């Protein structure tokens, strides 16, 4: 790397609106000396370099231009790790480069936040060690960072992690410190902005409310076993209601990121129908779930996407930040319906797989999966062999 400290001094002097004479007087040198530094005709004595850095309020690394080079390298490492995480690469590929970089740049917040996020977002290990390590890193950043966005991200993540680890008191205490829904960022922006920006902000607010409803209704349902009794359809009606609310906000089919919410809800809804012996509805929901997962994966990492429904037609999103759900599409038949509630019985699962429409649906899934692989240039997962029993689904 070529170091030209004179260019940096001139840039800092211009930034602060100072003259060469002012700097010279402060450093105890002549104005001609400062002029020579800036023109490349000479360099400051090594003894005066710390005073120059202090005068401009920068570090020595910044003065010599090393910091930008370091930051660029860190950004490159973080971008590579995030890309692998979004493409569902195993932690064995993601963590080693991050740990090496942290050893070289200790306490760097970008690297530590990337490490904690990778540990937290990855599939859980049996012992739960990775989520505990994620908690420690988030806790360190929460206590040491002066960046508001970083602190808030740590708080959100820790509130989930504490709950997952069974530390509910800590989780609730942290969550209670958050702003209430009426004071959140989306509401504040919708109230504070004007003109098109207000329309855009309110559109984002409506989309976020719809997404939270799609999460909160299932969470509320699973806490009440009586909602799943054979003689009631409460769970089915409420899940359909969550889907209907999303379709109220996005009424033209351009669901963008929220294809993911609708995929999850339709997967669960299919199970609820199957357990009641309503196979027609069950397979119809499976088809809708497959459609939404496929559309999400196709959109992921394609740049800026704009919604077109009347209530949110000024909202744009960067799809390059999306979790592509590639794994969810690749492993759909083995991942469903094992995660749903109430647990799938052998009797229900046998009835599903014995139905000829299950084989037909698997064909539609393979066709969709292969089309997306060709579109995305991915051959991530091996061909899937459907299980015959619940226990064989692993």
Q: Mark whether 169 and 288 lie in a shared domain.
A: no
Residue 196's CB is within 10 A of a number of other CB atoms, namely 9
Measured between alpha carbons, how far is 65 from 46 in angstroms, rounded to an integer? 16
What is the per-residue pLDDT across 180-233, written as a single tens digit (0 to 9) for each?
Answer: 877 788 888 888 999 999 999 999 999 999 999 999 999 899 888 888 888 899
Instruction: Determine the pLDDT at residue 113.
Output: 94
Measured between alpha carbons, how far is 282 from 287 in angstroms, rounded to an integer? 9
What is the per-residue pLDDT across 297-309, written as a single tens digit (0 to 9) for each?
Answer: 999 888 999 999 9
Q: Mark whether 303 and 385 lie in a shared domain.
A: yes
The runs of H, that is alpha helices, within the chain are 5-16, 20-27, 31-39, 49-56, 60-64, 66-86, 91-104, 109-121, 129-144, 148-164, 168-175, 185-192, 195-221, 234-249, 259-274, 279-299, 326-330, 332-335, 346-354, 356-376
Instruction: Determine the pLDDT at residue 127.
Output: 62
- For residue 115, give the CATH number of its domain: 1.25.40
Residue 72, Ramachandran bin (φ over 0: left; ψ between -120 and 50: alpha; else beta)? alpha
Instruction: Determine the pLDDT at residue 46.
Output: 85
Does any domain span residue 78? Answer: no
Task: Note down pLDDT in tens along the chain; length 394 residues.
Answer: 455 788 888 888 888 888 999 989 998 999 899 998 888 888 888 888 888 888 888 777 777 766 667 788 899 999 999 888 877 788 889 999 999 999 988 888 999 999 999 998 887 665 688 999 999 999 999 998 888 889 999 999 999 999 888 899 999 999 888 888 777 888 888 889 999 999 999 999 999 999 999 999 998 998 888 888 888 999 999 999 999 999 999 999 999 999 999 999 999 999 999 999 999 999 999 999 999 999 999 998 889 999 999 999 999 999 988 865 667 788 787 766 655 678 888 888 899 999 999 999 999 999 999 998 888 775 443 333 333 333 333 2
Q: Mark whether 139 and 261 lie in a shared domain.
A: no
Instruction: Determine the pLDDT at residue 391.
Output: 30
Q: What is the DSSP letter of 59?
A: -
Q: Mark whether 257 and 288 lie in a shared domain.
A: yes
Instruction: Determine the pLDDT at residue 67.
Output: 65
Instruction: Determine the pLDDT at residue 315.
Output: 96
Residue 127's domain comprises 91-174
Q: Mark whether 17 and 114 lie in a shared domain.
A: no
Residue 10 to residues 5, 18, 50, 288, Cα–Cα distance (Å)? 9, 10, 16, 62
Greatest C-alpha distance within the chain: 92
Measured between alpha carbons, how far is 49 from 45 in angstroms, rounded to an integer? 7
Does any domain span residue 71? Answer: no
Does any domain span residue 73? Answer: no
Domain finish residue from 48, 64, 80: 64
Instruction: Give the number of domains in the chain.
Output: 3
- For residue 10, give the CATH number of its domain: 1.10.260.40
Residue burial 70-86, b: 16+ Cβ < 10 Å; e: rest: eeeebeebbeebbebbb
Measured between alpha carbons, how far is 69 from 8 in angstroms, rounded to an integer? 14
């Amino acid at each position: 790397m070529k170091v030209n400290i004179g260019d940096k001094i001139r840039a800092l002097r211009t930034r602060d609106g100072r003259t060469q004479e002012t700097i010279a007087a402060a450093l105890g040198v002549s104005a001609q000396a400062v002029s020579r530094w800036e023109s490349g005709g000479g360099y400051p004595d090594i003894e005066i370099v710390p005073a120059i850095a202090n005068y401009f309020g920068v570090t020595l690394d910044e003065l010599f231009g090393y910091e930008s080079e370091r930051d660029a390298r860190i950004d490159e490492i973080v971008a590579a790790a995030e890309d692998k995480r979004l493409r569902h690469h195993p932690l064995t590929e993601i963590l080693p480069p991050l740990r090496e970089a942290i050893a070289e740049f200790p306490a760097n917040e970008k690297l530590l936040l990337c490490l904690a996020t990778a540990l937290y977002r990855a599939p859980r290990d049996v012992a739960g060690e990775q989520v505990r390590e994620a908690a420690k890193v988030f806790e360190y950043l929460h206590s040491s960072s002066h960046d508001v966005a970083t602190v808030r991200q740590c708080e959100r993540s820790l509130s989930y992690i504490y709950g997952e680890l069974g530390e509910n008191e800590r989780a609730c205490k942290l969550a209670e410190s958050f702003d209430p829904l009426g004071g959140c960022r989306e509401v504040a922006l919708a109230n504070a902005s004007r003109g098109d920006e207000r329309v855009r902000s309110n559109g984002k607010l409506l989309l976020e409310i719809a997404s939270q409803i799609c999460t909160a209704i299932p969470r509320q349902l699973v806490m009440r076993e009586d909602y799943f009794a054979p003689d009631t359809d409460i769970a089915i009606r409420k899940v359909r209601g969550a889907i209907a609310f999303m379709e109220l906000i996005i009424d033209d089919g351009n669901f963008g990121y929220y294809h993911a919410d609708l995929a999850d809800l339709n997967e669960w809804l299919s199970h609820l129908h199957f357990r009641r012996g309503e196979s027609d509805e069950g397979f119809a929901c499976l088809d809708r779930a497959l459609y939404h997962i496929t559309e999400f994966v196709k959109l992921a990492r394609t740049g800026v996407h704009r919604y077109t429904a009347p209530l949110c037609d000024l909202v744009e999103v960067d799809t390059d930040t999306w979790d592509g759900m590639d794994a969810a599409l690749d492993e759909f038949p083995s991942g469903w319906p094992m995660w749903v509630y109430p647990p799938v019985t052998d009797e229900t699962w046998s009835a599903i797989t014995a139905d000829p429409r299950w084989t037909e649906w698997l064909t539609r899934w393979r066709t969709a999966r292969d089309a997306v692989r060709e579109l995305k240039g991915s051959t991530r997962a091996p061909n899937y062999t459907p299980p015959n029993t619940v226990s064989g689904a692993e």
